[in-house]
Chain A
Amino acid sequence: MMNDIWILLTASLVAINAALLGCFLLLRKMALVGDAISHAVLPGIVVAYYFSGDKTSLLLLIGATLTGVVASLMIDFLTKKAKIQGDASIGITYTLLFAVGMILISTWLKGNVDIDMDCVLYGEIGLINLDKIIIDGNLYIGPMAFYTELFAFFCIGLTLVLGFKGFKLLAFNEDYARGLGINTTRWHYVLMTLVSLTTVVSFEVVGAVLVVGFLIIPAATAQLISKKLNRMMFLAAIFGIAAVVIGYALAIWLNVNITGAMVSVSGIIFMMVLIIDKFFRKQQVSKSLNPA
C-alpha cells in the first residue's frame, strides 16, 4: 500500500512537471519539439550512465539535459542553415539521436539491467521503490525518483514564477515580445532546457518514448476548455494527475503495463473532453439560434 502511494506521488509529480511545460510548448506550437527532445536525451543518458555507473548522479542529470538542448539547437540549425523544412528537421534530429542512443545501449550496455530497451520505452515505474532513501539508518522517507522529480518541480516552479511574464509573452506573441526588447532566444532555450530536464528525470519512471504523452496530452486537454493561461496550467496538472491515478488503478486491476495505461487513459480523457465540449457548444449554438 505504501509502495502504491509513493508510485502515485512520483508519477503525479512527473505529470505536473510535464503538464506545466506542455502548456508552453503547445502555445508556442512546438509540441513535437518536446517529442524530439524526449527521444534525443537518450544518448546523453547512456553516455553519462556509462561513465558514472549510476542512474541518479548529477553528472547524468547535467549531461543528458545538455543533449536535449543540443537536439533543439540541431533542429534550429537544420531549419535555418540547411533550410530543411521544420517538420523534417524534427524527424531527422530525433531519429538520429535516438538511433545513436540505441546503438550505444546495444554495444556498451549489453545485458545491463538498469538501462535496457524496455526501460527506454516505458520506464520502470513499478520498480522505483527499489531505490530507497533511508536516513538515520532506518527511517524510510521515500524512493529516490520522488526526490529527483521534486527537485525538477522546484526548478520548473521557480523559473516559471520568476519568468512568468517572459514565458507568457513568448507563448502568445513572440514578435511583440521581441519588439519590447525581450531576449526571446534566451527564454526559448530556458524552456528547452526545462523540457530536457523533465524528460531526463522522468526517464527511469516513464521512459523516453512515452513521456511525450505526459507533456502534450494533458496540456492539450486543458487547452480545449480554457482561455486563460493560469487556468490552462492548473487544469493540465489536474488532467495529468487524473490520468496517472486512473491509469495506475486500471493497470493493477488488469495486470497490464502501468505507464502505457496512464498515457492511454490520458488520451481517452482528451477524446472525452473533446466530445463533451463539442456537445455543449452545439447546444449553446442551437439555444442562441432558437431562444424560445
Chain B
Amino acid sequence: MQTLIDFITFKDPNVIYVVLGMICINTSSAVIGTFAFLRKRALIGDAIAHALLPGVCLGFILAGDKNIIYLLGGAFLTGWLATFLVDYIVNQTKIKQDAAIGIVLSTLFAFGIVLMSVIQNGDYANEGGLNNFLFGQAAAINKDEVYIFGIILLVILVATYFFYRAFLSISFNYDFAASAGLPVKTIEFVLTSLTVLAIAAGIQALGVVLMSALIITPAAAARFWSNNLRVMLLIAVVFSVFSGVLGAYVSYANAGVPTGPWVVLILSLITIISFVFSTKKGILYRILLANKNKRKIFTENILKSIFQWHEKKQKDIAEPFAAADLLSVRLFSTRELNKGLVKLKQKGLLVADGTKFYLSAEGIVESKRIVRLHRLWEHYLLRRTSMDENHVHAGAEAIEHVLSPEIEKELEKELGILGIPKDDY
C-alpha cells in the first residue's frame, strides 16, 4: 500500500519520469499501431522491433556508452532496414510476407544477440543497461529520455493531425487512395518512418521481444468498441496508457521485475474483456443476439402453424386450439413448444382458456403477417425465378423472419397480391 501511495504521489522523483515516459511511449505506439493494424501490417511491427536490437548494439558500440541518441539512431536504421528487406524479399521471390517477416526478424535478432555477446566480452562501461532493451525496464527511463520520447510523440501527433485523411484512406483502401491520386508511396514512407520511430522509443519500456504487443493489442481491443477511426484511436491510447502506467507500477513495486511482460499481460486482459463484453462485436453480445433471433424465429413459427391448423380445419382463426393440434402441421418438440406458447402468452399474443388456447386480436394480426410474408415470397420465387414449386418453401421459411414492411409493400406491388395468398407450397 505504501508503495502505491509513493507511486501516485510521485514521492520518488523518478516515478514522474517513468510515468511521463510511459504516457509518451504508449500514446505514440497506440496511434501508429492503429494504422498498422488497419493496414493489416501488424506483424511488420514485430519484425521492426526485433530488428532494433542490432541497431541498439551498434549504437552502443559506436558511442561506447548508453547514449540515447546513438541507440535510437542505430535502432531507427536497422528498423528501416528490416522493413526494406521484408518488402524486397516479398517482391523478388515467391516467399510470402509472413515468412519474409520471420526470416528478417530472426536473422537481425540473432545478429543483435551476436553483437550483445561482443559487447559483454569487450570492456564497455555500463553495459548492463543493454539488457533492458530485451525485456524492458521502465524504471530505467530518465529525464533526458522523457524529453526525447516527448519529441517523438509530438512528431507523431503532428504528422497524424496533418496527414489524417491520407493515413485514413491508405489504411482502409490502398487501391482507392492510389487511384484518387494520393502520393501513396510517400504516405507509406512517412507512416513506416513513424512506425519505426514509435517502436524505437518503446523498446526501452517493453523490450524488443514484446514490443509488437504495444503496436497490435491496443488497436485490436479498440476495434471492438468503435467503427470510427477517431474514437478507435482515442480508445487505443487510453487502454495502452492505462496498461503502461499500471505495468510500470508493478515493476516499480517489485524491484528488478521487467516492465514489458506486465504491460502486455494487462493489455491482453483488456482485449479479452473487450471481445467478450463489447456491445458491438463482443462474443457475449453476439451469442445473446443469436439466441434472441432463434427465439423470435421459433415463436413466429408457432404463430404460423396456428394459422395453418385453422386453415386446414377450415375454422375461424379466433377459435381455440390445443397445443397438440399444432403437431399435426409442424414438427415441434413438446417441451420447446410449451415454452414457446408461454412466451407468446407473456407477449399478449395468445390467451389460455383451460387446456386450450386462442389468439388475441394482436396475435391474429401477427400470425397473418407471417403467413402472408411466407406465401408472398413463395410466389415471388415462383414467378420471378426459375425455381420449381417443390423448392420455394425452404427459401421462404428462412426469409419470412427478416422481411421488412417496406419489402412487403414492394412484393405486393410487384406481384399484385393483396391479402394472404391461398396456395401453400
B98, CB-defined interface residue at 8 Å: yes
A-B contact count (CB 8 A): 182
CB of B101 closer than 8 Å to a CB of A:
yes
B94 lies within 8 A of A223 (CB): yes
Instruction: Report how far A266 CA is from B116 CA in the complex, Å.
Output: 18
Q: Is B293 an interface residue (CB 8 A)?
A: no
**Which of these, B46, B101, B260, contacts A99 with CB under 8 Å?**
B260
Number of interface residues of A (CB under 8 A): 58
CB distance from A209 to the nearest CB of B (A): 6
On chain B, the residues within 8 Å of A132 by CB distance are none
Does B77 sit at the interface, judged by CB under 8 A? no
Q: How far is the CA of A261 from the CA of B93 in the complex (A)?
A: 25
Cβ-defined contact, B113 with A31, below 8 A: no
Q: Select which of A39, A96, A260 is within 8 A of B114 by beta carbon.
A: A260
Interface residues of A in 179-227 (CB under 8 A from B): 209-210, 212-213, 215-217, 220, 223-224
In the assembled complex, the Cα of A216 lies from the Cα of B106 at a distance in Å of 9
> A270 touching B113 by the CB < 8 A rule?
no
A267–B103 CB distance below 8 A = yes
* Closest partner residue, chain B, to A84 (CB atom): B220
Contacts of B20 in A (CB 8 A): none
**Chain A residues in 8 Å Cβ range of B45:** 91
CA distance A100 to B209 in the complex (A): 13
Q: In the complex, are the beta carbons of B105 and A212 less than 8 A apart? A: yes
| A270 x B212 contact (CB < 8 A) | no
Indicate if the CB atoms of A103 and B261 lie closer than 8 Å: yes
With an 8 A cutoff between CB atoms, is B262 at the interface? yes
Report A's interface with B, CB cutoff 8 A: 26, 29-32, 34-35, 39, 78, 81-85, 87-88, 90-92, 95-96, 98-100, 102-103, 106-107, 117, 121-122, 209-210, 212-213, 215-217, 220, 223-224, 251, 254-257, 259-264, 266-268, 270, 274, 278
CB distance from B93 to the nearest CB of A (A): 6
Which residue on chain A has the smallest CB distance to residue B117? A257
Contact B210 A99 (CB under 8 A): yes
Size of B's binding interface in residues, CB under 8 A: 59
Return chain A residues, CB-CB under 8 Å to B121.
Answer: 255-256
The yes or no answer to B217 lying at the interface (CB within 8 A) is yes
Interchain CB contact under 8 A, A278 and B40: no
Convert B78-103 into 0s and 1s, putting 1 for each residue whose CB lies closer than 8 angstroms to a CB of A. 00000000000100111110110111
Can you name 12 A-B residue pairings with CB atoms under 8 Å?
A: A31-B99, A35-B102, A82-B275, A84-B223, A87-B98, A91-B213, A95-B210, A102-B258, A103-B261, A212-B105, A223-B95, A251-B114
**Given A262-B110, A266-B107, A267-B111, 7 new contacts (CB under 8 A):** A29-B99, A31-B99, A91-B45, A92-B217, A99-B260, A121-B134, A209-B109
Interchain CB contact (< 8 A) of A257 among B106, B116, B258: B116
Checking A83, A90, A106, A215 against B261 with a beta-carbon cut-off of 8 angstroms, the contacting residue is A106
* Complex Cα spacing A94 to B276, Å: 20
Residues of B within 8 A of A35 (CB): 102, 105-106
Q: How far in angstroms is the closest Cβ of chain B from A205?
A: 14
Q: With A and B bound together, what is the CA distance between A78 and B223 in angstroms?
A: 13
The answer on a CB contact under 8 Å between A85 and B40 is: yes
Contacts known (A99-B261, A121-B134); A213 close to B217, Cβ less than 8 A: no
- Indicate if B42 sits at the interface (CB-CB under 8 A): yes
Rounded to whole angstroms, the CA-CA distance of A212 and B106 in the bound complex is 7
Pick the residue among A91, A100, A107, A260 that contacts B217 (CB under 8 A).
A91
User: With A95-B213, A260-B117 in contact, do A224 and B265 touch (Cβ < 8 Å)?
Assistant: no
